[in-house]
Amino acid sequence: MFLRVDKLQIELPAPAQQDVNAASALQELLGGKYGEMSTLGNYLFQSFNFRSKSKLRPFYSLVAAITAEELGHVELVSNGVSMLANGPDEPGADTVGPTDITGAPFEMMKDARLAAGFLSHGGGAVPIDSNGLSWNKDFVTTTGNVIFDLLHNFHLECGARLHKLRVYETLSDPTGREVCGYLLVRGSVHAHAYALALKQITGVEIEKMLPTPNIPLANIPESQKYLEEGSHRRLYTFSPEDYREVAGIWGNGEMALPDDPPGELEVVEGMPEGGKIQELVGEPSAFTPDYAPEEMYEIATKLYKASR
Amino acid sequence: MFLRVDKLQIELPAPAQQDVNAASALQELLGGKYGEMSTLGNYLFQSFNFRSKSKLRPFYSLVAAITAEELGHVELVSNGVSMLANGPDEPGADTVGPTDITGAPFEMMKDARLAAGFLSHGGGAVPIDSNGLSWNKDFVTTTGNVIFDLLHNFHLECGARLHKLRVYETLSDPTGREVCGYLLVRGSVHAHAYALALKQITGVEIEKMLPTPNIPLANIPESQKYLEEGSHRRLYTFSPEDYREVAGIWGNGEMALPDDPPGELEVVEGMPEGGKIQELVGEPSAFTPDYAPEEMYEIATKLYKASR
Amino acid sequence: MFLRVDKLQIELPAPAQQDVNAASALQELLGGKYGEMSTLGNYLFQSFNFRSKSKLRPFYSLVAAITAEELGHVELVSNGVSMLANGPDEPGADTVGPTDITGAPFEMMKDARLAAGFLSHGGGAVPIDSNGLSWNKDFVTTTGNVIFDLLHNFHLECGARLHKLRVYETLSDPTGREVCGYLLVRGSVHAHAYALALKQITGVEIEKMLPTPNIPLANIPESQKYLEEGSHRRLYTFSPEDYREVAGIWGNGEMALPDDPPGELEVVEGMPEGGKIQELVGEPSAFTPDYAPEEMYEIATKLYKASR
Amino acid sequence: MFLRVDKLQIELPAPAQQDVNAASALQELLGGKYGEMSTLGNYLFQSFNFRSKSKLRPFYSLVAAITAEELGHVELVSNGVSMLANGPDEPGADTVGPTDITGAPFEMMKDARLAAGFLSHGGGAVPIDSNGLSWNKDFVTTTGNVIFDLLHNFHLECGARLHKLRVYETLSDPTGREVCGYLLVRGSVHAHAYALALKQITGVEIEKMLPTPNIPLANIPESQKYLEEGSHRRLYTFSPEDYREVAGIWGNGEMALPDDPPGELEVVEGMPEGGKIQELVGEPSAFTPDYAPEEMYEIATKLYKASR
Amino acid sequence: MFLRVDKLQIELPAPAQQDVNAASALQELLGGKYGEMSTLGNYLFQSFNFRSKSKLRPFYSLVAAITAEELGHVELVSNGVSMLANGPDEPGADTVGPTDITGAPFEMMKDARLAAGFLSHGGGAVPIDSNGLSWNKDFVTTTGNVIFDLLHNFHLECGARLHKLRVYETLSDPTGREVCGYLLVRGSVHAHAYALALKQITGVEIEKMLPTPNIPLANIPESQKYLEEGSHRRLYTFSPEDYREVAGIWGNGEMALPDDPPGELEVVEGMPEGGKIQELVGEPSAFTPDYAPEEMYEIATKLYKASR
Amino acid sequence: MFLRVDKLQIELPAPAQQDVNAASALQELLGGKYGEMSTLGNYLFQSFNFRSKSKLRPFYSLVAAITAEELGHVELVSNGVSMLANGPDEPGADTVGPTDITGAPFEMMKDARLAAGFLSHGGGAVPIDSNGLSWNKDFVTTTGNVIFDLLHNFHLECGARLHKLRVYETLSDPTGREVCGYLLVRGSVHAHAYALALKQITGVEIEKMLPTPNIPLANIPESQKYLEEGSHRRLYTFSPEDYREVAGIWGNGEMALPDDPPGELEVVEGMPEGGKIQELVGEPSAFTPDYAPEEMYEIATKLYKASR
């Protein structure tokens, strides 16, 4: 089972301006082969399909716990996408009076790289990559063979790191860069964790291959605050009570990777503190949340009061 | 953010026997157009993309809370699929000695309807439908228009109900039938909830269209215990603290649907008690968790102890 | 614009028995690369995209008129598919009393080759091929170059003929065989027509390549009555008043192909007489048209009377 | 069976200029999830697969008749797409002398959003959406359950309306705007008709949810002439003689929707008067209809004369 | 550039009998995510896209040379598929007299798991997996980052090994088992080679993870003759003169893996001796090579003589 | 089996400048329906699946030999794509010192038509078309019927010619134009060869339909040097010793097509001389071949020396 908390893993800075192509670039980290839907999908189904769970508890718990974090990564990238696609919130924009739609108010959208992002989703995120292609089951490897699945996951996290770096290099807006800066740190934790798991079973010190690509996180300004608070040394259980056995793999005296700020690896029960979710103020002329939403707001207010 | 709990929403009965084609039928409820990946994917992205959240809190919370429950539905169907594909757990089967793979031990799998289920996934669940086709973004509608998205969701839950009923009709095994019996009850709650939300905004008593198809749950033996405990009247927040505003929609003196056991609708904070997850004992000859897994078990045991 | 007539191009014999795998085989002729959706899709879009229509009227009219016939072919194959999937009509089967769905009444469907045919479509036809894969735009060639598009169409009709022959060879049921027998005759007309069009422009006697594959229709018993009535010599305009210019290509003293019954080619304005559409009696236990449809029938009867 | 008439449902104004990205935006209404191929595909296969047709005649006829209209909508959008992609007709452009192709005459096409529109289709329409992705069977729902299929169709028409509105907002060219303006009116008729059908069976006044999105057609200048002539009150049978039973649903004293010009709903046998199809003058340098088409024109002229 | 030699890498034993479902299982090794089209496609495009080739010659040559071998693997699996689908060659079967196709001679094909294999391909191989789904670009990783691409390739070969083992376990026929037995040996060479390349760059002894899955090839009877001849120690350049620089990676005193027969690794210039390609005698009743092929044979004979 | 030679079929001129959209246009000739992956895939699988090879040797050899040439075409287009995507080689660019990635150095890539080309492939080629869609099995026709497969191939080569012409018209850069100019000549050879094969079997002089489209190669400046050296009259066996029987079809006194420079057709054993492959200098800031590649170069140099 899963519980949901109405927060993002970090609070994202507001976008400097609307940039739908930047939003489309960020989609690579959502629905691409090496995006967050893929890390989520792999670990989700691997954890469902895990064999001999009780005998292999620490390995099962590792995959299961990271799955829950990946859900939040999907959420984080999705929020980044819709924030970039819609631009900075303009308070009150969703309560304008009669809206004129006759002057082709969204003409620029016909030249947007992925026009369906507006036409179909009103600027929202969907599980597609930066070329508009759907995430799909070909991105999921779940064989039931523990060593192979872990090796796959290690490769997946390295690929995800490369893609985050490249997306980062295309973005000048603070929103998207923050998404990348944070996920680079957390992705490194996952790559490191799968490496340690593989080392436990096979004896191969595969964590020495990290970081791949070989650029230290110290080079990414947006990653610094997360490194400083030690995020790269923490594995969260993302559970009220379960998955503590990950400490058999992440811990045990293992230390941070040489390129990163030093210190011992630690398991944190539960989740990070998190940050506020963007409001995403509606745009009546785009029919979000509606063309003439006032009455809807009134009803919602009444229901809200009734719920307390 | 999301948290994970190492339980299923209900405990599933063990399968009577291995039945890979039944597992494939059940996949329709996992990766089909009207399956759980679709309900999950729609609500997940709708909640991420929701506009003017603060002004429309009860509606946002409804979609957000149900998303979390759908994650558990994806988990439940996935467990059902792998249980059927693998048959009843045989304790100790994963610690047999040298395994002979030369006598075509899985010859029957070449005639299984979806042979890749064994070849690629070792009997595990993946996001495909009953014909083996991938779940994909075409199954996600997230327009940002609140009325339309709710209408879509109402239709989606009715379609999901029809598909659950038909899958149920193809299964004689208790595992798959229990999955259907439970999900029929919970799906009815979601259809009802979206209907009430629509009624609040539009005044149309669309809940009077329920149940669609027009068969009462009373006809499904496997649904009875859930009806008796009042599951059809409960909407869970699936959150430690958030989404309580759903009570503005689910509550307010609204009553159970006429066909179901009577009573007032109620919001339950948190999640149901849940049940144990199946062990899924490995099968070394299928390389799950490995061909000769003994050493791996030993390592895991050591790590497990180290983690406590 | 298009008009619809509530008839099939021929009346199909009732299926001898339900055979869902035969229905799935027939799907190749509906949604496969060389199926009727493909001939339809190619000619439909080619006719929409046709350049310099007025200067090239006979060629435009040829593609446009055949498009309309292909719509009826899609309809014919679809009817064949659903007839085979559902078996012979049992009058009154759709008015049975309370239906018990608890005994896994459709268990056999979990072993059907394409189980989603039942689970999702209740035995209905959809635009997929015999392996369950979707028809898609990759099957449409519309370049705007008249010679190339005609050459493509000639090749397409030859490929369609080969696929019809092979599907025919897998079917013992009269319904599916009649579909093939009729479409073989009509497909031959289209191949012949495109060949004549190409010959007019290029001088190449490409019609001498017919029939491809080189089996005369005389060998197919189910095709005989259509040959006898001269269907192989007739091109219909499938229009109340338009497309008569096809006579510039189909006509002009050209004769039937050597393997077929001799005679001059002729253009027929309008459409063939056609035959009755199968009733497809519903099955309440499969929720078609509904679980308890009696009230629905009453309403329909009332509305029907009101409409006269 | 289907007949074809060599006219569009309305005559489209010529495009002001070539705008391939506008053409690509319009593709959303052709091959997108909520585009005309989808409405067509759903109703086409639902009508083929309809159960107990004779007992449910008015409902069957409704779906069957609307199918035929949708064919014309696919045609209308396709014409709009190719007109925008090719720009205003230049008489005689298809009879220029020797054409030089060496100076990269279509260099601008490499920057067009969907370059394959030129490279593969010479500016023609194909069944793809505004991101270039194929229409496919995932967009077709045909379950055989009448209430559910009607509910799906109602939702589909509302979604189609939203998409038309958004595409309209991106277009400044008269051709594309006219397509949207007309289809908004006709789509409203279909949504209304499915709502009335559902109301007849379930008693739920779901038509009160219309219009969704909640913008009156009065706000769309391009829709006015169609409203004035009462198009929003007319359901055509699109058949020489069949489907008159739709009058049991559309009629019966039901009135136009409150936002639209008032009046009683009426069934019109046959089809609207329609308008001329655009010539789409060829472009020899793009090999449409050919590189040096003069001889082809001569041949066509001769054949045309021979056909009279 | 590529040259072709009219031989298989090994001679395959004739199939014991026709087994279309075994052929479909073997398709997993052709068009599946971890099949030979994938190893080919990855190395083909990686070698095309390789950066700074001259500075990284041994790594470039490794990928380029293995690509050429993979082409032969695609060929080998394809031959295995068509041999199993068609059964043992019956000399003269392609010169039978008049063939009767009216008695549903291929009725069994409608129940074959992947019926299109017969309907569309006459028993031939195509780039699909064991569920009939297409190979596609999602299976190709080519990032241009050398370490990551090599890591991906290492993981890919391990995954390919697991899939070969599982396919092997479903096959009792000698043809398919020989394909697996040989490819297991050659795939191990590739996994080993990529591991050594990674070790050279990163220092990580990742080859110690081999074999994955952890079953020695000694357990596979069909692999023994290849092990005995030392195939597991040989890397071929598959080139008349190029790619010798692979000796910097495969060689250098490195030894066979511990589980395999001992010995030093060696680079072999050129290719293995190879074996005869199966004749695949035609079946006129399936229209292969034609319905009445005698005349075609005569023409071919005449042309053959003319060519000498 | 296949051998590889480290050369392109021709040496390509360096690109004048980086032009990622031109690279994307050229992708149509790589992964599009009528691109080189398609010609390759069709002939590859047709040759694998060929029936009664010994009786039909010249036809088999024709398809088999052209397959090998197509591999080199895929290579040529791929090189063209990556050259255009990356621009002219800058010697030493891959050995720059510390690289700063923080200033959004690839911001322009977020506006590139197919951004994943950079994000995922670092400017490399992949099997997709100009809209970013994957090559797939729907582009492969292999029925086993010799006449039909040859007819398909003839149509395929004509379609490929049209697509090459249109891509050529969008490119001003010398690299892409040279790719087109050369492939137009070689594609004409293949169309001609399939036409002659068809003529031998059917007697139809289908080669008289060439060239389609009807523009002589004399109009394409980049094709001239290849015409002058007689490339249009040469069919290579692309084999050390096999496939000489193609001389029964290509030869026999047949002459060049009327539009091309006159002369007799000739079979050339082996392959053309070929040209140098572009270096594709890496870009450390894009992580190709790596972020800090110096050590990797050193290792490679050492290994290179060890290999000699």
Q: Which chains touch B (3 or more CB pairs under 8 A)?
A: A, C, D, E
Distance CA F170, CA D198 (A): 52
pLDDT tier at A178 (50, 70, 90 boundaries)?
Answer: very high
Look up residue D251 and give its two tokens: 């009629």
Distance CA B158, CA B152 (A): 10
A245 with B304: Cβ contact below 8 A: yes
Would you call C198 an interface residue with chain F, using a CB distance cutoff of 8 Å?
Answer: yes
| E98, pLDDT greater than 80 | no
A104 C-beta neighbours (distance < 10 Å), count: 18
Of A43-47, D149-153, E304-308, give the lowest mean pLDDT range: E304-308
| B98, pLDDT greater than 80 | no
pLDDT of res. E308: 81
**Cα C59–chain centre separation:** 22
Mean pLDDT value across residues A81-109: 93
pLDDT tier at E97 (50, 70, 90 boundaries)?
Answer: confident
Chains D and E touch (3+ CB pairs under 8 A): no
Look up residue C143 and give its two tokens: 């370049």
- CA geometry: angle at D221 spanning D41 and D263, to 5°? 75
pLDDT tier at F97 (50, 70, 90 boundaries)?
Answer: confident
Of D47-56, E98-107, F187-196, give the lowest mean pLDDT range: E98-107
B148 with D139: Cβ contact below 8 A: no
| C308, pLDDT greater than 90 | no
Would you call B163 an interface residue with chain C, using a CB distance cutoff of 8 Å?
Answer: yes
C162 with E287: Cβ contact below 8 A: yes
pLDDT of res. F261: 97
Would you call C126 an interface residue with chain D, using a CB distance cutoff of 8 Å?
Answer: yes
Mean pLDDT value across residues E189-217: 98
pLDDT in tens, D107-121: 999 999 999 999 999
Residues from chain D that touch A20, judged by Cβ atoms under 8 A, are none
pLDDT tier at B195 (50, 70, 90 boundaries)?
Answer: very high
| E247, pLDDT greater than 90 | yes
Distance CA E152, CA F230 (A): 44
Mean pLDDT value across residues E118-125: 98
| B17, pLDDT greater than 90 | yes
E118 with C163: Cβ contact below 8 A: no
pLDDT of res. B62: 98
pLDDT tier at A305 (50, 70, 90 boundaries)?
Answer: very high
| C98, pLDDT greater than 80 | no
| Cα distances (Å, whole numbers) of residue D18 to D87, D218, F254 | 4, 29, 46
Would you call F284 an interface residue with chain E, using a CB distance cutoff of 8 Å?
Answer: no
C292 with B214: Cβ contact below 8 A: yes
pLDDT of res. B58: 98
pLDDT of res. F188: 98
F119 with A130: Cβ contact below 8 A: yes
Mean pLDDT value across residues E135-141: 98
D138 with B33: Cβ contact below 8 A: yes
Mean pLDDT value across residues C14-23: 98
Q: Under a CB-based contact definition with an 8 Å cutoff, are residues F2 and E72 in contact?
A: yes
| Cα distances (Å, whole numbers) of residue F26 to A7, A99, F36, F106 | 45, 44, 11, 21
In chain F, % of residues over pLDDT 90: 96
Helix (H, G, I), strand (E, B) or coil at C208: helix
Distance CA D152, CA D168 (A): 24
D51: DSSP letter: S
Mean pLDDT of chain C: 97
F57 with E289: Cβ contact below 8 A: no
Mean pLDDT of chain B: 97
Mean pLDDT value across residues E49-56: 97
Would you call A165 an interface residue with chain F, using a CB distance cutoff of 8 Å?
Answer: yes
F120 with E136: Cβ contact below 8 A: no
pLDDT in tens, A193-234: 999 999 999 999 999 999 999 999 999 999 999 999 999 999
| Cα distances (Å, whole numbers) of residue A56 to A1, A155, A184, B294 | 20, 21, 29, 11
Mean pLDDT of chain F: 97
Helix (H, G, I), strand (E, B) or coil at C234: strand
Could you write out the three-class secondary structure of chain A?
Answer: CEEECCCECCCCCCCCCCCHHHHHHHCHHHHCCCCHHHHHHHHHHHHHHCCCCCCCHHHHHHHHHHHHHHHHHHHHHHHHHHHHHHCCCCCCHHHCCCCCCCCCCCHHHHHCCCCHHHHCCCCCCCCECCCCCECCHHHCCCCCCHHHHHHHHHHHHHHHHHHHHHHHHHCCCHHHHHHHHHHHHHHHHHHHHHHHHHHHHHCCCHHHHCCCCCCCHHHCHHHHHHHHCCHHHEEECCCCCCCHHHHHCCCCCCECCCCCCCCECEEECCCCCCECCCCCCCEHHHCECCCCCHHHHHHHHHHHHHCC
| E30, pLDDT greater than 90 | yes
pLDDT of res. F252: 78
| D97, pLDDT greater than 90 | no
| B252, pLDDT greater than 90 | no
Q: At what angle do helices B36-49 and B57-86 cross, to 10 degrees?
A: 150
pLDDT in tens, D21-80: 999 999 999 999 999 999 999 999 999 999 999 999 999 999 999 999 999 999 999 999
Look up residue C3 and give its two tokens: 């008009």
Chains A and C touch (3+ CB pairs under 8 A): no
With CA atoms as reference, report the closest residue to D71 among F254, E127, A186, C48.
C48
Distance CA B279, CA B277 (A): 6
Residues from chain B that touch D151, judged by Cβ atoms under 8 A, are 154-155, 158, 209, 212
Of A94-108, A149-163, E125-139, E182-196, give the lowest mean pLDDT range: A94-108
Residues from chain A that touch E203, judged by Cβ atoms under 8 A, are 208
In chain C, % of residues over pLDDT 90: 96
pLDDT of res. A98: 76
Residues from chain A that touch E159, judged by Cβ atoms under 8 A, are 141, 143, 148, 152
